[in-house]
Amino acid sequence: MSVSEEEVLKKMYNLILNPSTREWERYLLTTTKNALGQQKNFKEQLAKLEVELRPLALRNNLTPDVADFYQEITGNTAVSEQLVKEQHVVADPAYQERAIFAGGCFWCMVEPFESQPGIISVLSGYTGGVLEHPSYDQVSSGATGHVEAVEIIFDTRRVSYQELIDLYWQMTDPTDAFGQFQDRGAQYRPVIFVADEEQKKIAERRKQAAIDSNRYSKPIVTEIRAAGPFWPAENYHQEFYKKQPKRYKAIKRERQQFLMYQHLKGKLREGLHRKK
């Protein structure tokens, strides 16, 4: 374990105040913090906390922030972060490209892309704003101009940029400029960030195709912008669907229900338009 006693106490205090922390987790953290405040053996108390958290950690059922803290006190954070960084690299520029999409909470944007053939890596992060190295709390405030997004590295021999664009249109609501589904705020608005003129042409062509399809009763508001710096999100946000499968499935279910309803209405609109 590389974190100091002072760092552990600070993180515990923040987790205790964090509204996302479950009551049972908060109880364990408070108990340990109080014991450490009474000058009880640091290593012994931390080992006891680790044992209490371990069952849920092994089932990937801790809340994200507590899961990140658990990784730190067990010495796994550095390894996990290093693995994410090592995987997210364009190793072969001749056949690999980057794509950046924003479409609501990045927790739900990773799995649909990562499960596609030809995808090398998907990283959750922040882009489109003015602040360098923003944190989740700063982006969530809506004051930095960033959106939550995913950066994808893909093999162009196995999957094309247009195929990724088409998948993006299927998993987002292009008529909502104020968020996506249950995620509200400018940091969740739909944006396609293009890396070059070729990506821009494809994105604009597919957007126009969506407009011409008459599937939507409201205007298409998805932005197409030039890609800028992409700042990786904190480690506990990466691969959320693997770390928190139950929470992810619940969130995913809500999105899918909305999209199924939207797509059904779209087909009916297309059919009515063809009859006219």
Instruction: Enumerate domains of the chain plus CATH numbers.
Output: 5-75 (no CATH), 84-240+247-251 (3.30.1060.10)
Length of the chain: 276
Q: How far apart are CA 31 and CA 28, in angstroms?
A: 5
Residue type, 234: E
pLDDT band at 28 (very low <50, low <70, confident <90, very high): very high
243 CB-contact burial (10 Å; exposed 0-12 / middle 13-18 / buried 19+): buried
Residue type, 53: L
Q: What is the pLDDT of residues 225-239, one digit of tens each?
A: 999 999 998 777 888
Tell me the pTM.
Answer: 0.71
pLDDT at 1: 44
pLDDT at 152: 97
Q: What is the pLDDT of residues 124-158, one digit of tens each?
A: 999 999 999 888 888 988 889 999 999 999 999 99
Q: Which whole number is the average pLDDT over 247-270?
A: 79
Instruction: Share the mean pLDDT of the chain.
Output: 86
- The yes-or-no verdict on residue 80 having pLDDT over 90 is no
Query: Parallel, antiparallel, or unpaired: how do β-strands 119-127 and 230-232 relate?
Result: antiparallel
Instruction: List strands edge to edge, sheet with 147-155.
Output: 223-226, 191-194, 96-102, 147-155, 119-127, 230-232
Q: Write out the catalytic residue numbers.
A: 105
